[in-house]
Chain A
C-alpha cells in the first residue's frame, strides 16, 4: 500500500475546497534505467472522492500526471466537521484510501 495522502478540506460560502497530495512514483514506462532497459509504467489510474458515501469526483490519470499527483476540486453540499474520503487505485492493483475532516 502506498504512502498516506495529504488531504485538506475547507468550506467557505457553502463551497468546500479539497486539496489532495498523493504519494506515487507515476513512472511513465518510457524512461530507461542505467542499464538501458525500459522501466515499466507504474501509475495511479483512477481516483475517486466521496462525501457521505456519495461520489463527488472521479478522475482518471495517464502517464503524464506528475509524480506525487496533486489535485484541487470544489464541491457543494457539505458542512464543517463532515468527512471527505479519497481513494486511488494504480495499474499494479495497489490502492489507498484516506480521509480528512472539513474545516
Chain B
C-alpha cells in the first residue's frame, strides 16, 4: 500500500468518525426532550390560528416587557433582520411569525436555564406584513407585533 492510499484511508476513517460524533451529540440529547422534534405541523400552518394552536398557545397577552426590533421598511424582503429580547423572568421560548407569509411560523427557539431570552436572526417576507414575536416566560405566553413595509418581496430568492 503506498502512502497516498494510507492517507486517503485515514481521511475516510476520520470523516466518518466526525460524522458519528455529530449524530451522537444530537441523538444523545433528543430522546429526553420531546419538544426537540421538528414542529412540522406548526411550520406548515397556513393560518395564524392554526400556527398558534400547534404551538400550544391558547391565549397570549401583550407585554411591554418584550421588545421586538425590526426595520420599519425592508428594501429586501429576503433578508429582514429580527431581534427579540425581553426583561420577563425565565424566558423559555421565542417564536417568530410573519402573518402574510405562506407559512406563518419562521423560527422557534428554546432557551435552557442560563441562556438569556434574546435572539437575533433574519427572515424572509413575501410582502408588507406584521412580524409577531411570541414569547413563553414562566409558563405563560406573551406576544408583541410590528409592521414591516416590504418594497421588494422575498419570494424570488
Q: Using a CB–CB distance below 8 Å, which chain A residues touch chain B?
A: 1, 15, 28, 30-31, 45-46, 48, 50, 54-67, 69-77, 85, 87, 89, 95-97
Contact = CB atoms under 8 A, between A and B. Distances in A.
Interface of B: 18-19, 21-23, 25-26, 29, 33, 36, 38-39, 43, 78-80, 83, 98, 101-103, 105-112, 114-116, 118-125, 154-157
Given A28-B124, A60-B39, A72-B121, 11 more contacts: A60-B38, A63-B43, A64-B106, A67-B78, A69-B121, A70-B122, A71-B119, A72-B83, A72-B120, A73-B109, A76-B115
Contact of A62 (B83, B107, B111): B107
List the 8 shortest-distance A-B pairs measured between CB atoms, nearest first: A64-B106, A72-B120, A62-B43, A66-B122, A74-B116, A75-B115, A58-B110, A97-B22
B123 A66 contact: yes
Given A15-B116, A76-B116, A95-B19, A65 B38 contact: no
B91 to A, nearest CB: 11
B25 A97 contact: yes
Q: Chain B's interface: helix, strand, loop or mixed, by majority?
A: mixed
A75 B106 contact: no
